[in-house]
Amino acid sequence: MKILHVTETLAAGVLDVIAAMATSQRELGHSVAVLHVDRPETPPSAELDERLEGVDLIHLGHRESGRAKRLAVLARALGDLAPHGYDIVHLHSTFAGLVGRIVRIADVTIYSPHGYSFLRANERKGTRIAYLAVERILRSRSALTLCVSEDERIVAMNSVRAKAITVRNTLNLESLGEPARPATRRQPKVVNVGRWAPQKGPDRFVRAASALSSMATFRWIGDAPTDASHRWSASGWLDPNKVLDELRSADVIYFTSRWEGMPVGLMQAQALGVPAVAVRCSGVDDVVIDGVTGIVADDEATALRHLEGVLRDSAALRVLADGALSKRTRFSDEGYGEATIHAYRLAGAR
């Protein structure tokens, strides 16, 4: 098949998913291209070329432009690509999903929300209602919603009333490397990974650091403002391999997101044997096995109590770490490409 992946957000977890999907489909013999608009957080072209080796990358400029400009550029580019005869157009995230379902250029259009916009807890209620209304209006403009977690599929079917299936996010465990036990140190190390944005709940992480800095060191893996109190530190932007190095050095990941699809950073931490304490949101239950590989709490206050508890009990923390390692193969990418192609065929692709 001739497949085109489209996104307005080729960075962070969406990049991880598209890279895994596109390269695995190419290895199966399909012709695969990725169309994206550059944004400030988009990695350099050299890194994208390395991660998407053999995939046709179609870069659109406007890295510093506003969203309206980027979406207009994306719409024009899709129109220009219409004569290329793609069998499948796979749209990733809200805004590419909006544009690509209006400007349809293939018989079969697939949509992956990667965390529905109407779940954004930082938005006003009226805005979230509008986002949901748009998703319902556009649901007939795609043949299938391909969800990255079971939580997301349930939302797609119950809230949007869309035809949806799940193909869970996976990891290449071989390239992830072997887990590394944290070094012996006076205090355990608590991390989180992601963009410094309301979705990821950095305010929750900061509150935990303020409350428990006497018991542990806290480190945000990613760009973040400077902490004048020195209760936590940030790594700054890192390439993917250095992110993994940071995760290997952690004793626990305190996952604070307010909404997700199926969080890749949390998956990586678990596969490397890092136990999790997480505030429940969509996608978390697909990653953390409560009581086995970590602890999932319904609210921030409860999560903070559990975090304090495991920091006080190193034996309990080790049991959870061993549980995470014992379950790491559930994230294997074996058969991932075949699963995505099967989903396309269910949607009507030939």
Segment holding 312, helix H or strand E: helix 300-312
**C-alpha distance from residue 176 to each of 32, 190, 223, 240, 268 (Å):** 24, 20, 22, 10, 8
Give helix 94-102 / helix 125-138 axis angle, nearest 10°.
40
CA–CA distance, 247 with 307 (Å, rounded to integer)? 17
CA–CA distance, 119 with 261 (Å, rounded to integer)? 10
User: What is the DSSP secondary structure assignment for residue 83, as one 8-state letter?
Assistant: G
Domain 174-331 has CATH 3.20.20.100: no
**C-alpha distance from residue 308 to each of 158, 201, 252, 295, 311 (Å):** 36, 18, 11, 12, 5
CA–CA distance, 135 with 141 (Å, rounded to integer)? 10
Q: Compute the CA torsion angle 115, 121, 126, 127 (nearest 10 deg).
A: -50
Give helix 12-27 / helix 336-346 axis angle, nearest 10°.
90
> What are the structure tokens assigned to 135, written together?
């998703």
CA–CA distance, 268 with 272 (Å, rounded to integer)? 6
User: pLDDT tens string for the chain (350 positions)?
Assistant: 999 999 988 877 788 899 999 999 999 999 999 998 887 778 778 888 888 888 988 888 766 567 788 888 888 989 989 888 999 999 998 889 999 999 988 889 999 999 888 888 778 889 999 999 999 999 999 999 999 989 899 999 999 999 999 999 999 898 888 786 666 667 899 999 998 989 899 999 999 999 999 999 999 999 888 777 789 999 988 888 899 999 999 999 999 999 888 899 999 999 999 999 999 998 899 999 999 999 999 999 999 999 999 999 999 999 999 999 999 999 998 999 999 999 999 988 77
What are the pLDDT digits (tens) for 136-176? 999 999 999 999 989 899 999 999 999 999 999 999 898 88
> What pTM value is reported for the model?
0.84
Give helix 12-27 / helix 264-271 axis angle, nearest 10°.
70
Domain ranges of the chain: 2-170+333-346, 174-331
Backbone phi and psi for residue 151, each to the nearest 5 degrees, phi listed first: -55, -45
Q: Rg of the Cα trace of the chain?
A: 20
> What are the structure tokens assigned to 266, written together?
């949390």
Instruction: Give, rounded to a whole angstrom, the gap between the first and last alpha carbons of the chain.
Output: 8
- Could you tell me if 282 and 218 are in contact, meaning their C-beta atoms sit under 8 angstroms apart? no
Name the nearest CA neighbour of 1 among 26, 18, 35. Answer: 26
User: What is the DSSP secondary structure assignment for residue 290, as one 8-state letter?
Assistant: B
Domain 2-170+333-346 has CATH 3.40.50.2000: yes
Tell me the residue ranges of DSSP E strands in the chain.
Answer: 2-7, 31-37, 56-60, 88-92, 108-112, 144-147, 164-166, 189-193, 217-221, 233-234, 252-255, 276-279, 294-297
CA–CA distance, 98 with 135 (Å, rounded to integer)? 8
